[in-house]
Amino acid sequence: MISFALISASAAEPVKLKLAFPSSDRSTSYLAAVKPFVDAVNAEARGQIEIETYFSGVLGKDPAEQPQLVLDGTADIAYVVTGLTRNRFADNAIIEMPGLFTNMRESVAVFNRLMAAGALQGYDDYVVIGAYVTEPETIHSNVPITSLNDLKDKRIRVNNPGEAAALEKLGARPVFLPVTKISEAIGSGSIDGALVPPSPLVDYGIKRVATYHYLLGISGAPLMVLMNRKIFNRLPKPAQATILKYSGAWSAGRFMDTYEAVENSIMGELKSDPKRQVTIPTPSDLDAANAVFAAVADDWASKSERNAELLKTVRAELTKMRSTR
């Protein structure tokens, strides 16, 4: 926890901020979402503040508890997978909606616009340093899945209710499972495959057990870096300004560039490996899947006026973005 006595101390004694990160310093999430921000702030705010990253769950092992670590003072800042705390950040379901976004850059842009407009609930106690989204998750398996027909009765890992609803409509059997358990579950045969973006294939060893890759993009996973708002408000104004300078659009840009480079490299390796089968869905499969995705989104919107308004807002934002390309 931050020591406020340091704020009035000599400039040679920077305020120390603790950042909780549940995985290793080699993970793509750290390299894309955390490292650029920490390095930039520490370089510019030298003598004012210093952010120290605590890796591998040192401040709290459970990835689902990261937002609470920030509120209870265990950490000042944390990397958060919002899908693990769905009740706290319920509006983020719109970012996870199947088929809504064609790629990571679309979803990150819309996510950041929604955050800037204060359109998503759950963030009153936080300063949002970064709002990111992975590439749409695709299907990776150890059994042949090369078409929608091959999904029938297959046990596929999912990480959000929208993906589960979509796969169920497509004939599969969705299984909720943390990303850290996927490799073991595929290896043991308890699931047939998993929905993940490319980077976890390497970060969590999934590509060792999955050799079929069906590139039906379904939905991305929202990721965030959040800071305790009370802690932020007590920092000296120059320190606040530095944190804000490297938050928002700046942080999102670094995330996208880093994440995209890593994922393109991984996909290149998969496609060039003769022991793997990488399949792009046919136009007819895409049409069938998109009809399912639209039905899932409309069903979600029918659950409440707020859901309906969020879906309407995002669809309008995407129409506007796509018309200017």
Instruction: State the CATH number of the domain containing residue 159.
Output: 3.40.190.10
Give the pLDDT score at 2. Answer: 53
What DSSP character marks residue 89?
T
Which structure tokens are listed for 236?
């000296």
| Alpha-carbon span 162 to 157, nearest angstrom | 12
Whether 236 and 112 map to the same domain: the answer is yes
CB 77 within 8 A of CB 129: yes
Whether residue 226 lies inside any domain: the answer is yes
Total structural domains within the chain = 2
Q: Report pLDDT digits (tens) over 107-157.
A: 999 999 999 999 999 999 999 999 999 999 999 999 999 999 999 999 999
Q: Report pLDDT digits (tens) over 237-256.
A: 999 999 999 999 999 999 99
Whether 160 and 288 map to the same domain: the answer is yes
Whether 47 and 177 map to the same domain: the answer is no
Whether 75 and 23 map to the same domain: the answer is yes
Whether residue 268 lies inside any domain: the answer is no
| Alpha-carbon span 87 to 75, nearest angstrom | 21
Whether 17 and 57 map to the same domain: the answer is yes
Whether 14 and 109 map to the same domain: the answer is yes
Q: Are strands 155-158 and 126-133 parallel, antiparallel or unpaired?
A: unpaired
Whether 39 and 15 map to the same domain: the answer is yes
Whether residue 15 lies inside any domain: the answer is yes
Whether 210 and 228 map to the same domain: the answer is no
Q: Which of 108, 83, 139 is nearest to 289 (CA)?
A: 139
What is the three-class DSSP state of 123? coil
Whether residue 13 lies inside any domain: the answer is yes
| Alpha-carbon span 196 to 201, nearest angstrom | 8
- Give the CATH number of the domain where residue 244 resides: 3.40.190.170
| Alpha-carbon span 199 to 184, nearest angstrom | 17
What is the three-class DSSP state of 152? coil
Whether 123 and 240 map to the same domain: the answer is yes
What is the three-class DSSP state of 144? coil
Whether residue 311 lies inside any domain: the answer is no
Q: From residue 103, give the alpha-carbon distance in Å to each of 136, 215, 260, 268.
A: 6, 12, 10, 17
Give residue 90's domain range. Answer: 4-136+220-263
Q: How many CB atoms lie within 10 A of CB 87?
A: 6
Please report, in tens digits, the pLDDT of each residue of the chain (325 residues total).
Answer: 554 444 444 446 899 999 999 999 999 999 999 999 999 999 999 989 999 999 999 999 999 999 999 999 999 999 999 988 888 999 999 999 999 999 999 999 999 999 999 999 999 999 999 999 999 999 999 999 999 999 999 999 998 999 999 999 999 999 999 899 999 999 999 999 999 999 999 999 999 999 999 999 999 999 999 999 999 999 999 999 999 999 999 999 999 999 999 999 999 999 999 999 999 999 999 999 999 999 999 999 999 999 999 999 999 999 999 998 7
Whether residue 314 lies inside any domain: the answer is no
Q: How many CB atoms lie within 10 A of CB 129?
A: 26
Whether residue 309 lies inside any domain: the answer is no
Residue 51 half-sphere exposure toward CB, CA atoms < 13 A: 30
Whether 53 and 202 map to the same domain: the answer is no
Whether 167 and 212 map to the same domain: the answer is yes
Whether residue 323 lies inside any domain: the answer is no
Whether 90 and 149 map to the same domain: the answer is no
